[in-house]
Amino acid sequence: MNLCDTSAVDLLEKLSTRQLSAEELMLATLERITSVNPEVNAIVALQDPDVLMAQARATDENPIQGPLNGLPMAIKDLVNVAGITSSQGSPIFRNHVPANDDLIAARLRSAGAIPIGKTNTPEFGLGSHTFNPVYGATRNPYDPARSCGGSSGGAAVALATGMVALADGSDMMGSLRNPAAWNNVYGFRPSWGRVPSEPAGDLFLHQLSTLGPMARSPCDIGLLLDVMSGPDPKQPLTCASEPVSPVNIDNLDGVRIGWLSDWGGAFPMEDGILSLCCNELSIFADLGATIDEVPPPFDSERIWESWITLRSWSVAAELQPQAENKDALKDSALWELERGQALGAMEVHAASVTRSDWFRRAVELLSEYDALVLPAAQVWPFPVELPYPQAIGGVEMDTYHRWMQVVTPVSLLGLPCLSIPAGFGPGGLPMGMQLFGPRGGDAKILALGAAYHAVTRWPQRRPAMV
Protein backbone atom coordinates (compact mmCIF):
# COMPACT_ATOMS: atom_id res chain seq x y z
CA MET A 1 0.00 0.00 0.00
CA ASN A 2 1.34 3.41 -0.99
CA LEU A 3 0.48 5.43 2.10
CA CYS A 4 0.61 8.80 0.36
CA ASP A 5 -2.02 7.79 -2.18
CA THR A 6 -4.37 6.12 0.33
CA SER A 7 -7.67 7.69 1.32
CA ALA A 8 -7.93 9.46 4.66
CA VAL A 9 -10.74 7.11 5.70
CA ASP A 10 -8.51 4.06 5.17
CA LEU A 11 -5.45 5.66 6.78
CA LEU A 12 -7.35 6.70 9.87
CA GLU A 13 -9.00 3.29 10.23
CA LYS A 14 -5.56 1.66 10.17
CA LEU A 15 -4.14 4.25 12.58
CA SER A 16 -7.02 3.75 15.02
CA THR A 17 -6.59 -0.05 15.02
CA ARG A 18 -2.77 0.21 15.22
CA GLN A 19 -2.36 -1.60 11.91
CA LEU A 20 -0.40 1.51 10.87
CA SER A 21 1.79 3.63 13.11
CA ALA A 22 1.87 7.40 13.08
CA GLU A 23 5.65 7.10 12.78
CA GLU A 24 5.36 5.10 9.55
CA LEU A 25 2.89 7.58 8.09
CA MET A 26 4.96 10.60 9.10
CA LEU A 27 8.06 9.11 7.49
CA ALA A 28 6.18 8.44 4.24
CA THR A 29 4.73 11.96 4.33
CA LEU A 30 8.11 13.64 4.80
CA GLU A 31 9.63 11.54 2.04
CA ARG A 32 6.85 12.57 -0.37
CA ILE A 33 7.27 16.23 0.60
CA THR A 34 11.01 16.04 0.00
CA SER A 35 10.41 14.47 -3.40
CA VAL A 36 7.61 16.69 -4.70
CA ASN A 37 7.38 19.99 -2.84
CA PRO A 38 10.49 21.67 -4.33
CA GLU A 39 8.78 21.66 -7.74
CA VAL A 40 5.34 22.87 -6.64
CA ASN A 41 5.97 24.90 -3.45
CA ALA A 42 2.67 23.94 -1.82
CA ILE A 43 3.80 23.35 1.78
CA VAL A 44 5.59 26.21 3.52
CA ALA A 45 6.95 26.70 7.05
CA LEU A 46 7.61 22.94 7.24
CA GLN A 47 8.66 21.99 10.76
CA ASP A 48 11.89 20.20 11.67
CA PRO A 49 11.61 16.55 10.51
CA ASP A 50 13.22 15.21 13.68
CA VAL A 51 10.67 17.06 15.81
CA LEU A 52 7.80 15.77 13.67
CA MET A 53 9.05 12.20 13.87
CA ALA A 54 9.27 12.53 17.65
CA GLN A 55 5.68 13.82 17.77
CA ALA A 56 4.55 10.85 15.68
CA ARG A 57 6.31 8.37 17.99
CA ALA A 58 4.70 10.04 21.01
CA THR A 59 1.31 9.67 19.30
CA ASP A 60 1.93 5.93 18.93
CA GLU A 61 2.85 5.62 22.59
CA ASN A 62 -0.32 7.30 23.87
CA PRO A 63 -4.05 6.44 23.74
CA ILE A 64 -6.05 7.33 20.62
CA GLN A 65 -6.86 11.02 20.91
CA GLY A 66 -9.55 11.58 18.30
CA PRO A 67 -10.80 10.88 14.77
CA LEU A 68 -7.66 12.35 13.13
CA ASN A 69 -5.22 10.64 15.50
CA GLY A 70 -1.73 10.55 14.01
CA LEU A 71 -2.63 12.15 10.66
CA PRO A 72 -0.06 14.72 9.39
CA MET A 73 -1.75 17.94 8.28
CA ALA A 74 -0.46 21.20 6.83
CA ILE A 75 -2.79 24.06 7.76
CA LYS A 76 -3.66 26.96 5.47
CA ASP A 77 -1.42 29.95 6.06
CA LEU A 78 -4.34 32.24 6.87
CA VAL A 79 -4.75 30.32 10.13
CA ASN A 80 -2.64 30.98 13.23
CA VAL A 81 -1.00 27.78 14.46
CA ALA A 82 0.89 27.85 17.74
CA GLY A 83 4.64 27.61 17.26
CA ILE A 84 4.51 27.72 13.43
CA THR A 85 5.17 30.81 11.34
CA SER A 86 1.77 32.15 10.22
CA SER A 87 2.39 34.86 7.64
CA GLN A 88 -0.88 35.17 5.67
CA GLY A 89 1.49 35.53 2.73
CA SER A 90 2.28 39.10 3.81
CA PRO A 91 5.67 40.66 4.56
CA ILE A 92 3.95 42.35 7.50
CA PHE A 93 3.64 38.95 9.22
CA ARG A 94 6.71 37.27 7.72
CA ASN A 95 8.13 36.45 11.15
CA HIS A 96 4.88 36.04 13.08
CA VAL A 97 4.94 32.90 15.24
CA PRO A 98 1.68 32.71 17.25
CA ALA A 99 1.63 31.50 20.83
CA ASN A 100 -1.90 30.10 20.45
CA ASP A 101 -3.93 28.18 17.89
CA ASP A 102 -6.86 29.73 16.06
CA LEU A 103 -10.10 27.86 16.69
CA ILE A 104 -9.87 25.65 13.60
CA ALA A 105 -6.25 24.69 14.30
CA ALA A 106 -7.21 23.86 17.88
CA ARG A 107 -10.03 21.60 16.65
CA LEU A 108 -7.71 19.75 14.27
CA ARG A 109 -5.07 19.33 16.96
CA SER A 110 -7.65 18.20 19.52
CA ALA A 111 -8.85 15.57 17.03
CA GLY A 112 -5.33 14.14 16.96
CA ALA A 113 -3.91 15.68 13.79
CA ILE A 114 -0.20 16.52 13.81
CA PRO A 115 0.45 19.99 12.30
CA ILE A 116 3.55 19.72 10.08
CA GLY A 117 3.57 23.22 8.56
CA LYS A 118 1.37 25.46 6.45
CA THR A 119 -0.11 25.43 2.95
CA ASN A 120 0.67 28.41 0.75
CA THR A 121 -1.91 31.11 0.01
CA PRO A 122 -2.08 34.49 -1.75
CA GLU A 123 -1.33 37.53 0.38
CA PHE A 124 -4.25 37.89 2.84
CA GLY A 125 -6.04 35.22 0.76
CA LEU A 126 -7.01 37.73 -1.96
CA GLY A 127 -7.19 36.45 -5.51
CA SER A 128 -7.69 32.97 -6.97
CA HIS A 129 -3.98 32.55 -7.75
CA THR A 130 -1.53 31.43 -5.07
CA PHE A 131 1.54 33.67 -4.99
CA ASN A 132 2.94 36.03 -2.39
CA PRO A 133 6.15 37.95 -1.58
CA VAL A 134 6.96 35.70 1.40
CA TYR A 135 7.03 32.25 -0.20
CA GLY A 136 6.52 32.85 -3.92
CA ALA A 137 4.11 30.99 -6.19
CA THR A 138 2.62 27.54 -5.84
CA ARG A 139 2.55 25.66 -9.14
CA ASN A 140 -0.02 23.38 -10.67
CA PRO A 141 1.21 19.76 -10.44
CA TYR A 142 -0.47 18.87 -13.76
CA ASP A 143 1.57 21.63 -15.44
CA PRO A 144 4.06 23.50 -13.23
CA ALA A 145 4.04 26.42 -15.67
CA ARG A 146 0.41 27.08 -14.70
CA SER A 147 -1.46 28.52 -11.72
CA CYS A 148 -2.90 26.18 -9.12
CA GLY A 149 -5.69 28.63 -8.29
CA GLY A 150 -6.35 30.00 -4.84
CA SER A 151 -6.57 31.04 -2.21
CA SER A 152 -6.43 27.44 -0.94
CA GLY A 153 -3.98 26.61 -3.72
CA GLY A 154 -1.29 25.14 -1.51
CA ALA A 155 -3.87 22.87 0.12
CA ALA A 156 -5.19 21.60 -3.22
CA VAL A 157 -1.70 20.90 -4.59
CA ALA A 158 -0.65 19.13 -1.40
CA LEU A 159 -3.68 16.85 -1.78
CA ALA A 160 -3.20 16.24 -5.50
CA THR A 161 0.43 15.21 -4.99
CA GLY A 162 -0.23 13.02 -1.94
CA MET A 163 1.71 15.19 0.49
CA VAL A 164 -1.38 15.20 2.75
CA ALA A 165 -4.59 13.15 2.83
CA LEU A 166 -6.82 15.93 4.20
CA ALA A 167 -6.56 19.71 4.05
CA ASP A 168 -8.41 22.66 5.49
CA GLY A 169 -9.38 25.48 3.18
CA SER A 170 -11.45 28.63 3.26
CA ASP A 171 -13.80 30.14 0.73
CA MET A 172 -15.15 33.60 0.18
CA MET A 173 -15.08 33.89 -3.61
CA GLY A 174 -14.26 30.36 -4.70
CA SER A 175 -11.09 30.08 -2.64
CA LEU A 176 -11.41 26.32 -2.20
CA ARG A 177 -13.72 25.59 -5.15
CA ASN A 178 -11.37 27.03 -7.80
CA PRO A 179 -8.15 25.30 -6.62
CA ALA A 180 -10.02 22.02 -6.12
CA ALA A 181 -11.15 22.22 -9.76
CA TRP A 182 -7.70 23.10 -11.07
CA ASN A 183 -5.95 20.35 -9.12
CA ASN A 184 -8.41 17.47 -9.66
CA VAL A 185 -9.55 17.15 -6.04
CA TYR A 186 -12.71 17.93 -4.04
CA GLY A 187 -13.40 21.07 -2.02
CA PHE A 188 -16.48 21.72 0.06
CA ARG A 189 -17.93 25.08 0.99
CA PRO A 190 -20.35 24.20 3.83
CA SER A 191 -23.57 26.00 4.67
CA TRP A 192 -22.59 29.30 6.22
CA GLY A 193 -22.45 29.01 10.02
CA ARG A 194 -21.78 25.26 10.14
CA VAL A 195 -18.00 25.74 10.53
CA PRO A 196 -17.12 28.65 12.81
CA SER A 197 -14.34 31.07 11.97
CA GLU A 198 -12.12 32.78 14.49
CA PRO A 199 -14.21 34.56 17.18
CA ALA A 200 -12.57 37.94 16.61
CA GLY A 201 -13.78 41.32 15.44
CA ASP A 202 -17.39 41.73 14.35
CA LEU A 203 -19.54 38.63 14.93
CA PHE A 204 -22.76 39.65 13.17
CA LEU A 205 -22.34 41.55 9.91
CA HIS A 206 -19.95 39.77 7.54
CA GLN A 207 -21.64 36.54 6.41
CA LEU A 208 -19.54 35.78 3.34
CA SER A 209 -16.45 33.65 3.99
CA THR A 210 -16.34 30.21 5.56
CA LEU A 211 -13.79 27.55 6.38
CA GLY A 212 -14.22 24.14 4.77
CA PRO A 213 -12.58 20.78 4.06
CA MET A 214 -10.67 19.59 0.99
CA ALA A 215 -9.82 16.00 0.09
CA ARG A 216 -9.56 13.40 -2.67
CA SER A 217 -13.09 12.02 -2.15
CA PRO A 218 -16.44 13.15 -0.72
CA CYS A 219 -16.15 10.47 2.00
CA ASP A 220 -12.87 12.00 3.15
CA ILE A 221 -14.51 15.45 2.95
CA GLY A 222 -17.28 14.28 5.30
CA LEU A 223 -14.82 12.96 7.85
CA LEU A 224 -12.97 16.29 8.10
CA LEU A 225 -16.16 18.35 7.94
CA ASP A 226 -17.43 16.71 11.12
CA VAL A 227 -14.19 17.63 12.92
CA MET A 228 -14.42 21.25 11.73
CA SER A 229 -18.14 21.66 12.40
CA GLY A 230 -20.01 22.63 15.52
CA PRO A 231 -21.12 25.83 17.21
CA ASP A 232 -18.75 28.08 19.09
CA PRO A 233 -20.36 29.75 22.13
CA LYS A 234 -18.47 32.96 21.34
CA GLN A 235 -20.09 33.22 17.89
CA PRO A 236 -23.84 33.91 17.78
CA LEU A 237 -24.43 32.89 14.16
CA THR A 238 -22.81 29.44 14.24
CA CYS A 239 -25.16 26.50 14.32
CA ALA A 240 -25.39 22.92 15.48
CA SER A 241 -25.62 20.37 12.68
CA GLU A 242 -25.97 16.63 12.27
CA PRO A 243 -22.81 14.64 11.42
CA VAL A 244 -22.38 13.82 7.74
CA SER A 245 -19.81 11.02 8.06
CA PRO A 246 -19.92 8.29 6.92
CA VAL A 247 -21.15 9.83 3.68
CA ASN A 248 -23.93 7.88 1.98
CA ILE A 249 -23.73 6.92 -1.68
CA ASP A 250 -27.28 7.62 -2.78
CA ASN A 251 -29.33 5.94 -5.46
CA LEU A 252 -30.05 8.86 -7.79
CA ASP A 253 -33.39 7.61 -9.11
CA GLY A 254 -35.78 10.54 -8.88
CA VAL A 255 -33.05 13.11 -8.24
CA ARG A 256 -33.42 16.34 -10.24
CA ILE A 257 -30.36 18.41 -11.11
CA GLY A 258 -30.46 21.82 -12.77
CA TRP A 259 -27.64 22.86 -15.13
CA LEU A 260 -27.09 26.62 -15.12
CA SER A 261 -24.34 26.51 -17.77
CA ASP A 262 -22.89 30.03 -18.31
CA TRP A 263 -25.95 31.79 -16.83
CA GLY A 264 -27.40 32.54 -20.25
CA GLY A 265 -24.10 33.88 -21.57
CA ALA A 266 -23.51 36.24 -18.64
CA PHE A 267 -20.34 34.41 -17.59
CA PRO A 268 -17.81 34.30 -20.44
CA MET A 269 -16.06 30.93 -20.62
CA GLU A 270 -12.91 29.74 -22.30
CA ASP A 271 -13.42 27.13 -24.99
CA GLY A 272 -13.99 23.58 -23.83
CA ILE A 273 -15.17 24.23 -20.28
CA LEU A 274 -18.91 24.02 -20.91
CA SER A 275 -18.62 20.96 -23.15
CA LEU A 276 -16.48 19.15 -20.57
CA CYS A 277 -18.96 19.90 -17.79
CA CYS A 278 -21.93 18.86 -19.93
CA ASN A 279 -20.23 15.56 -20.65
CA GLU A 280 -19.72 14.93 -16.92
CA LEU A 281 -23.35 15.75 -16.16
CA SER A 282 -24.28 12.69 -18.21
CA ILE A 283 -22.76 10.57 -15.43
CA PHE A 284 -25.46 11.79 -13.04
CA ALA A 285 -28.02 10.94 -15.71
CA ASP A 286 -26.54 7.45 -16.09
CA LEU A 287 -26.97 7.03 -12.33
CA GLY A 288 -30.68 7.80 -12.59
CA ALA A 289 -30.89 11.58 -12.14
CA THR A 290 -32.89 13.90 -14.39
CA ILE A 291 -30.82 16.77 -15.80
CA ASP A 292 -32.58 19.97 -16.88
CA GLU A 293 -31.01 23.02 -18.46
CA VAL A 294 -32.16 25.96 -16.33
CA PRO A 295 -32.43 29.52 -17.70
CA PRO A 296 -30.83 32.33 -15.68
CA PRO A 297 -32.91 32.54 -12.48
CA PHE A 298 -31.75 36.03 -11.44
CA ASP A 299 -29.98 39.02 -12.96
CA SER A 300 -26.24 38.32 -12.90
CA GLU A 301 -25.26 41.98 -12.70
CA ARG A 302 -27.43 42.52 -9.63
CA ILE A 303 -25.68 39.56 -7.98
CA TRP A 304 -22.28 40.94 -8.99
CA GLU A 305 -22.93 44.46 -7.71
CA SER A 306 -24.29 43.10 -4.43
CA TRP A 307 -21.31 40.77 -4.14
CA ILE A 308 -18.51 43.27 -4.76
CA THR A 309 -20.13 45.77 -2.39
CA LEU A 310 -20.47 43.31 0.48
CA ARG A 311 -17.07 41.78 -0.24
CA SER A 312 -15.22 45.12 -0.25
CA TRP A 313 -17.03 46.11 2.94
CA SER A 314 -15.99 42.85 4.60
CA VAL A 315 -12.40 42.79 3.31
CA ALA A 316 -11.86 46.44 4.23
CA ALA A 317 -12.99 45.68 7.76
CA GLU A 318 -10.43 42.85 7.94
CA LEU A 319 -7.66 45.03 6.50
CA GLN A 320 -8.46 48.10 8.59
CA PRO A 321 -5.62 47.33 11.09
CA GLN A 322 -3.21 47.55 8.13
CA ALA A 323 -4.51 50.93 6.93
CA GLU A 324 -1.32 52.60 8.15
CA ASN A 325 0.78 50.10 6.15
CA LYS A 326 -0.73 50.76 2.72
CA ASP A 327 2.67 50.70 1.03
CA ALA A 328 3.06 47.07 2.16
CA LEU A 329 -0.26 45.94 0.64
CA LYS A 330 -0.59 44.45 -2.83
CA ASP A 331 -2.77 46.24 -5.38
CA SER A 332 -5.86 44.08 -4.90
CA ALA A 333 -5.76 44.48 -1.11
CA LEU A 334 -5.40 48.24 -1.44
CA TRP A 335 -8.28 48.34 -3.95
CA GLU A 336 -10.57 46.45 -1.56
CA LEU A 337 -9.53 48.56 1.43
CA GLU A 338 -10.11 51.91 -0.28
CA ARG A 339 -13.32 50.78 -1.95
CA GLY A 340 -14.72 49.45 1.32
CA GLN A 341 -13.78 52.58 3.22
CA ALA A 342 -15.69 54.71 0.71
CA LEU A 343 -18.97 52.79 0.97
CA GLY A 344 -21.99 54.41 2.58
CA ALA A 345 -24.42 52.63 4.89
CA MET A 346 -27.29 52.73 2.41
CA GLU A 347 -25.10 51.27 -0.34
CA VAL A 348 -24.42 48.30 1.92
CA HIS A 349 -28.12 48.06 2.75
CA ALA A 350 -29.07 48.05 -0.94
CA ALA A 351 -26.57 45.25 -1.57
CA SER A 352 -28.11 43.24 1.26
CA VAL A 353 -31.60 43.76 -0.19
CA THR A 354 -30.39 42.34 -3.50
CA ARG A 355 -28.89 39.38 -1.67
CA SER A 356 -32.24 38.84 0.05
CA ASP A 357 -34.08 38.95 -3.29
CA TRP A 358 -31.69 36.38 -4.79
CA PHE A 359 -32.06 34.16 -1.70
CA ARG A 360 -35.85 34.12 -2.03
CA ARG A 361 -35.58 33.21 -5.71
CA ALA A 362 -32.99 30.49 -4.99
CA VAL A 363 -35.27 28.93 -2.38
CA GLU A 364 -38.00 28.66 -5.04
CA LEU A 365 -35.60 27.10 -7.52
CA LEU A 366 -34.19 24.62 -5.03
CA SER A 367 -37.70 23.48 -4.16
CA GLU A 368 -37.79 22.13 -7.72
CA TYR A 369 -34.26 20.67 -7.82
CA ASP A 370 -32.15 18.59 -5.46
CA ALA A 371 -29.03 20.37 -6.67
CA LEU A 372 -27.85 22.95 -9.18
CA VAL A 373 -24.61 22.87 -11.17
CA LEU A 374 -22.26 25.55 -12.50
CA PRO A 375 -18.68 25.29 -13.78
CA ALA A 376 -16.16 25.91 -10.99
CA ALA A 377 -14.10 28.35 -13.07
CA GLN A 378 -14.43 30.37 -16.27
CA VAL A 379 -10.86 29.81 -17.47
CA TRP A 380 -8.35 26.97 -17.57
CA PRO A 381 -5.28 27.27 -15.31
CA PHE A 382 -3.34 30.23 -16.69
CA PRO A 383 0.43 30.92 -16.77
CA VAL A 384 1.84 31.15 -13.27
CA GLU A 385 3.52 34.51 -14.01
CA LEU A 386 0.17 36.18 -14.80
CA PRO A 387 -1.43 37.95 -11.80
CA TYR A 388 -4.94 37.28 -13.11
CA PRO A 389 -6.77 36.93 -16.47
CA GLN A 390 -7.58 40.31 -17.97
CA ALA A 391 -9.95 39.02 -20.65
CA ILE A 392 -11.99 35.89 -21.38
CA GLY A 393 -12.89 35.20 -24.99
CA GLY A 394 -12.40 38.85 -25.90
CA VAL A 395 -14.45 40.12 -22.94
CA GLU A 396 -12.36 42.47 -20.80
CA MET A 397 -12.35 41.88 -17.03
CA ASP A 398 -13.02 45.13 -15.17
CA THR A 399 -11.65 43.99 -11.77
CA TYR A 400 -8.92 41.66 -10.52
CA HIS A 401 -11.56 39.05 -9.61
CA ARG A 402 -14.28 39.40 -12.28
CA TRP A 403 -12.91 36.27 -13.99
CA MET A 404 -14.29 34.24 -11.03
CA GLN A 405 -17.82 35.70 -11.23
CA VAL A 406 -19.24 32.19 -11.70
CA VAL A 407 -18.82 31.45 -7.99
CA THR A 408 -20.72 34.49 -6.71
CA PRO A 409 -24.30 33.11 -6.88
CA VAL A 410 -23.30 30.50 -4.29
CA SER A 411 -21.03 32.72 -2.19
CA LEU A 412 -23.61 35.47 -1.80
CA LEU A 413 -26.13 33.07 -0.21
CA GLY A 414 -23.83 30.84 1.85
CA LEU A 415 -25.10 27.66 0.19
CA PRO A 416 -23.39 24.26 0.62
CA CYS A 417 -21.32 23.61 -2.50
CA LEU A 418 -19.05 20.73 -3.49
CA SER A 419 -16.42 21.39 -6.13
CA ILE A 420 -16.20 18.10 -8.01
CA PRO A 421 -13.52 17.15 -10.56
CA ALA A 422 -14.84 17.16 -14.13
CA GLY A 423 -11.87 15.58 -15.88
CA PHE A 424 -9.25 17.13 -18.13
CA GLY A 425 -9.14 19.51 -21.05
CA PRO A 426 -6.44 21.00 -23.26
CA GLY A 427 -2.94 19.85 -22.38
CA GLY A 428 -4.27 17.61 -19.62
CA LEU A 429 -5.38 20.54 -17.43
CA PRO A 430 -8.05 19.76 -14.80
CA MET A 431 -11.44 21.45 -14.46
CA GLY A 432 -14.33 21.08 -12.04
CA MET A 433 -17.99 21.84 -11.39
CA GLN A 434 -19.91 23.39 -8.51
CA LEU A 435 -22.65 21.10 -7.17
CA PHE A 436 -24.79 23.06 -4.71
CA GLY A 437 -28.10 22.91 -2.88
CA PRO A 438 -30.21 24.57 -0.15
CA ARG A 439 -28.71 25.84 3.09
CA GLY A 440 -28.46 22.96 5.51
CA GLY A 441 -28.37 20.40 2.71
CA ASP A 442 -24.69 19.58 3.19
CA ALA A 443 -25.18 15.83 3.66
CA LYS A 444 -27.30 15.53 0.51
CA ILE A 445 -24.74 17.36 -1.63
CA LEU A 446 -21.92 15.15 -0.32
CA ALA A 447 -24.02 12.03 -1.00
CA LEU A 448 -24.58 13.12 -4.61
CA GLY A 449 -20.86 13.77 -4.90
CA ALA A 450 -20.03 10.35 -3.46
CA ALA A 451 -22.23 8.62 -6.04
CA TYR A 452 -20.44 10.55 -8.79
CA HIS A 453 -17.02 9.78 -7.33
CA ALA A 454 -17.74 6.06 -7.14
CA VAL A 455 -18.01 6.08 -10.93
CA THR A 456 -15.40 8.66 -11.94
CA ARG A 457 -12.59 8.53 -9.36
CA TRP A 458 -10.89 11.44 -11.11
CA PRO A 459 -8.46 12.30 -8.25
CA GLN A 460 -6.90 8.87 -8.63
CA ARG A 461 -5.50 10.10 -11.96
CA ARG A 462 -2.38 11.51 -10.38
CA PRO A 463 0.11 14.11 -11.68
CA ALA A 464 3.07 12.60 -13.52
CA MET A 465 5.48 13.94 -10.88
CA VAL A 466 4.13 11.45 -8.31
Arithmetic mean of pLDDT, 197-218: 96
Confidence at residue 328, expressed as pLDDT on a 0 to 100 scale? 84
Does position 1 have pLDDT exceeding 80, yes or no? no
Arithmetic mean of pLDDT, 84-107: 97
Arithmetic mean of pLDDT, 162-173: 98
| pLDDT tens per residue, range 16-44 | 999 999 999 999 999 999 999 999 999 99
Instruction: Indicate whether 133 belongs to any domain.
Output: yes
Arithmetic mean of pLDDT, 366-374: 98
* Confidence label for 407 from pLDDT (cuts 50, 70 and 90): very high
Instruction: Indicate whether 346 belongs to any domain.
Output: yes
| pLDDT tens per residue, range 45-64 | 999 999 999 999 999 999 99
Tell me the CATH number at 348: 3.90.1300.10
Instruction: Indicate whether 465 belongs to any domain.
Output: no
Does position 374 have pLDDT exceeding 80, yes or no? yes
Maximal CA-CA distance, the chain: 61
Q: Which of 189, 192, 182, 207 is nearest to 389 (CA)?
A: 182
User: For residue 440, what are the domain limits?
Assistant: 3-460
Instruction: Indicate whether 466 belongs to any domain.
Output: no
**76: phi then psi, degrees, rounded to nearest 5:** -55, 140
Instruction: Indicate whether 364 belongs to any domain.
Output: yes
Does position 348 have pLDDT exceeding 80, yes or no? yes
Confidence at residue 326, expressed as pLDDT on a 0 to 100 scale? 84
Q: How far is CA 446 from the centre of its chain?
A: 15
Does position 159 have pLDDT exceeding 80, yes or no? yes
| Count of domains for the chain | 1
| pLDDT tens per residue, range 103-112 | 999 999 999 9
* Confidence label for 250 from pLDDT (cuts 50, 70 and 90): confident
What is the chain's mean pLDDT, rounded? 97
Instruction: Indicate whether 110 belongs to any domain.
Output: yes
pTM for the complete prediction? 0.98
Alpha helices in 164-242, H assignment, sequence order: 177-182, 218-228
Confidence at residue 411, expressed as pLDDT on a 0 to 100 scale? 98
* Confidence label for 426 from pLDDT (cuts 50, 70 and 90): confident
Arithmetic mean of pLDDT, 74-85: 98
| Percent of the chain residues topping a pLDDT of 90 | 97
Instruction: Indicate whether 272 belongs to any domain.
Output: yes
CB atoms within 10 A of CB 95: 9
| pLDDT tens per residue, range 290-345 | 999 999 999 999 999 999 999 999 999 999 998 888 888 999 999 999 999 999 99
In order of 251, 252, 451, the CA distances from 288 in angstroms are 7, 5, 11
Instruction: Indicate whether 132 belongs to any domain.
Output: yes
Arithmetic mean of pLDDT, 238-256: 93
Q: Report DSSP letters for 341-370, one per residue.
A: HH--HHHHHHHHHHHHHHHHHHHHHHTT-S
Distance CA 61, CA 79 (A): 29
* Confidence label for 251 from pLDDT (cuts 50, 70 and 90): confident
Confidence at residue 249, expressed as pLDDT on a 0 to 100 scale? 84
**421: phi then psi, degrees, rounded to nearest 5:** -60, 140
| Percent of the chain residues topping a pLDDT of 70 | 100
Confidence at residue 327, expressed as pLDDT on a 0 to 100 scale? 85
